Amino acid sequence: MWRDAALVAGKDLRVEARSRVGVNQVVPFALLVLVLFAFALDSDREVLAKVGPGLFWVAVLFAALLGIQRSFVIEADDDARDALRLSGLDGAGIFLGKAGAVAVQLVVLEVVLAVGVVVLYDIHLRSPVLLLLTCVAATVGLAAAGTVYGIIAAGLRVRDTLLPLLVLPVLAPVLLAAARACDAALAGAPSDGWPWVRLLAVFATVYVTFGVVAFGALLEES
């Protein structure tokens, strides 16, 4: 399973590195979201600092949708999904590989966006451990849930429009919990943030487990 996961993740990351869709389209899109929200809300830095964590995770969420869609578009082109099925790769391995590749891309995106938030919104970090764990748990949850719903939508002709409808409501708890935990980390009140991190960890565990168990069957039906 781990060998298959590494193989699939390596392939997906190589495709992204060569196509440069992430660098040329997804990252600029996420930065634009940050800037546009800043324009729309207020140019007052106090307001921006207050809503910064929420805006950060909204931008991550939208960009994650693009990344998840992209992860399955490359399998739909030229029927490569059939080749995946023919390969006999373990379904759990494929899931972990695809979710892992999405997670790696999200981490890169989060680092870039974090710099953007600090510069644009004048935010200062007070509890780095809480922030780091929040990002890890939220990223794993986003990637795992997104990959599960990505394969559900993959076989449908309306997949491009259906995926956001399926995923956004499911990921709402991640958005809420990650924003609250980040808020606590930035305000220097980590005790307020830990319950939200626990919620993120439960969410990530549930979707990673579900994906490992069900992805093979979902791939068969897609």
Partner 1 sequence: MVPMTPNTPRGDVVSSPNLAIRFRSAVSLLGRFPALAGVDLDVARGEVLLVRGPNGAGKTTLLRACAGLVGISSGEADVLGHDLRADRRAVRRRVGLLGHAAFLYDDLTVADNLRFAARASGSSKAAADAASARLGLDGRLRHLTAAKLSAGQRRRVALAAVLARQPELWLLDEPHAGLDAAGRDLLDELVREAVAAGATVLLASHELERAAALATRSVVIAGGRIRDGLLGAAPPPATPTTPATPDPGKEPAHVA
Q: Which residues are at the interface with partner 1 (CB under 8 A)? A: 4, 7, 11, 14-15, 18-19, 74, 77-80, 82-89
The least CB distance from residue 185 to partner 1, in Å, is: 37
The least CB distance from residue 101 to partner 1, in Å, is: 13
Which amino acid, residue 99? Answer: A
Beta strand residue intervals within the chain, DSSP E: none
Q: Which residue in 5, 1, 173, 156 sits closest to 69, CA to CA? A: 156
- Helix H, strand E, coil C: the string for 136-170 is HHHHHHHHHHHHHHHHHHHCCCCHHHHHHHHHHHH
The least CB distance from residue 1 to partner 1, in Å, is: 13
- The Cβ of residue 86 has, within 10 Å, a number of other Cβ atoms equal to 8
Q: Tokens for 56?
A: 């950060």
8 Å CB contact between 126 and 187: yes
8 Å CB contact between 8 and 97: yes
The least CB distance from residue 59 to partner 1, in Å, is: 25
d(CA 143, CA 9): 12
The least CB distance from residue 108 to partner 1, in Å, is: 18
- The Cβ of residue 202 has, within 10 Å, a number of other Cβ atoms equal to 14
The length of the chain is: 222
The least CB distance from residue 18 to partner 1, in Å, is: 4
Q: Which is nearer to partner 1, 44 or 221 (CB)?
A: 221
